Amino acid sequence: MIEVKGIDPKMIANNIDPYEPTHPGELIKDEIEFRGISQKKLADRMGASYTVVNDIINCKRAVNPQYALLFEAALGIPAHILTGLQADFDMLNAKRNQAFAKRLENIRKVAALL
């Protein structure tokens, strides 16, 4: 978090989380629509299950490193971009989970006493 004396950290643009995190499936969906490739054709090209590809494109399944590499081979989108988007997506959703946030707060309290 960036801090500047006299300025509320919430008012610094670099400290603001996006309202909706971007799932890598959104990027893949935009790319195949632009290229005019169907999900079925993409799955065939990748040698992957249509169901898995469809789930990723519809943001119902995470992109793991293996699938990121398959998408890279099929579409030329660098795998590290897709895995980075997935990590950011997962991290932001974890931060917004109230039960998990409470658990983290309790751990920090205990750790502060050590």
- Say how many domains are in the chain: 1
Asked whether residue 86 is assigned to any structural domain, the reply reads: yes
What sections of 1-114 are H helices per DSSP? 24-35, 39-46, 50-57, 65-75, 79-96, 98-113
Asked whether residue 76 is assigned to any structural domain, the reply reads: yes
Kindly state the average pLDDT of the residues 89-98: 90
Average predicted confidence (pLDDT) for the chain: 90
Nearest to residue 52, comparing CAs of 36, 71, 34? Answer: 71
Is the pTM above the cut of 0.85?
no
- Would you say 43 and 81 are in contact if contact means Cβ atoms under 8 Å apart? no
For residues 88 and 95, give the distance between their C-alpha atoms in angstroms, rounded to a whole number.
Answer: 11
Q: Looking at residue 55, which CATH number applies to its domain?
A: 1.10.260.40
Asked whether residue 2 is assigned to any structural domain, the reply reads: no
For residues 112 and 23, give the distance between their C-alpha atoms in angstroms, rounded to a whole number.
Answer: 34
Asked whether residue 22 is assigned to any structural domain, the reply reads: yes
Asked whether residue 3 is assigned to any structural domain, the reply reads: no
The parent domain of residue 76 ranges over 9-113
More confident residue, 68 or 9: 68
Asked whether residue 4 is assigned to any structural domain, the reply reads: no
- pLDDT of 8 > 70? The answer is yes
Asked whether residue 1 is assigned to any structural domain, the reply reads: no
